[in-house]
């Protein structure tokens, strides 16, 4: 499945930071619930390999899949998706 990346450098950087923060949020919630990747994959309907790649910021996913992940983690999608200020702060620190 191809990943469509933005063409301009700033947007590409923000996109990569978004993926990294999203993955960190999913991993943090998974670990807080004491779940393995295999267990969360089964609960969410995701493949374990895809879950691993998303947690590492190496893959993106659809809004529909984020909804199933939020349900599996007993949280709202807003708890997983990073805020714009988080992305900008992380982007700024990565630039220095």
Q: What is the residue extent of each domain of the chain? A: 9-91
What is the percent of the chain with per-residue pLDDT over 70, rounded to a whole number?
88
pTM: 0.83
Backbone φ and ψ of 43, nearest 5°:
-70, -35
Q: What is the mean pLDDT of the chain?
A: 89
- Pairwise pLDDT comparison (2 vs 76), residue with the higher score: 76
Q: Does residue 33 contact residue 70 with C-beta atoms inside 8 Å? A: no
For residue 29, CA distances in Å to 33, 35, 48, 62 come to: 6, 9, 16, 19
CA 79 to chain centre: 11
Quick one: average pLDDT of 76-86? 91
Structure tokens at 96: 């220095």
Would you state the pLDDT for residue 69? Answer: 98
> What is the C-alpha separation between 46 and 1, in angstroms, rounded?
15
d(CA 8, CA 58): 19
Domain 9-91, CATH: 1.10.260.40
pLDDT in tens, 31-68: 999 999 999 999 999 999 999 999 999 999 999 999 99
State how far the Cα of 32 lies from the Cα of 21, in Å rounded to an integer: 16
């Amino acid at each position: 499945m191809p990943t469509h990346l933005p063409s301009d450098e700033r947007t590409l950087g923000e996109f990569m930071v978004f993926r990294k923060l999203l993955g960190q949020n999913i991993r943090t919630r998974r670990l807080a619930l004491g779940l393995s990747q295999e267990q969360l994959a089964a609960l969410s309907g995701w493949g374990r390999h895809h879950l691993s790649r998303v947690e590492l910021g190496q893959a993106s996913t659809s809004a529909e899949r984020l909804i199933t992940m939020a349900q599996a983690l007993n949280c709202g999608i807003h708890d997983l998706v990073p805020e714009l200020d988080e992305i900008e702060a992380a982007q700024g620190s990565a630039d220095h």
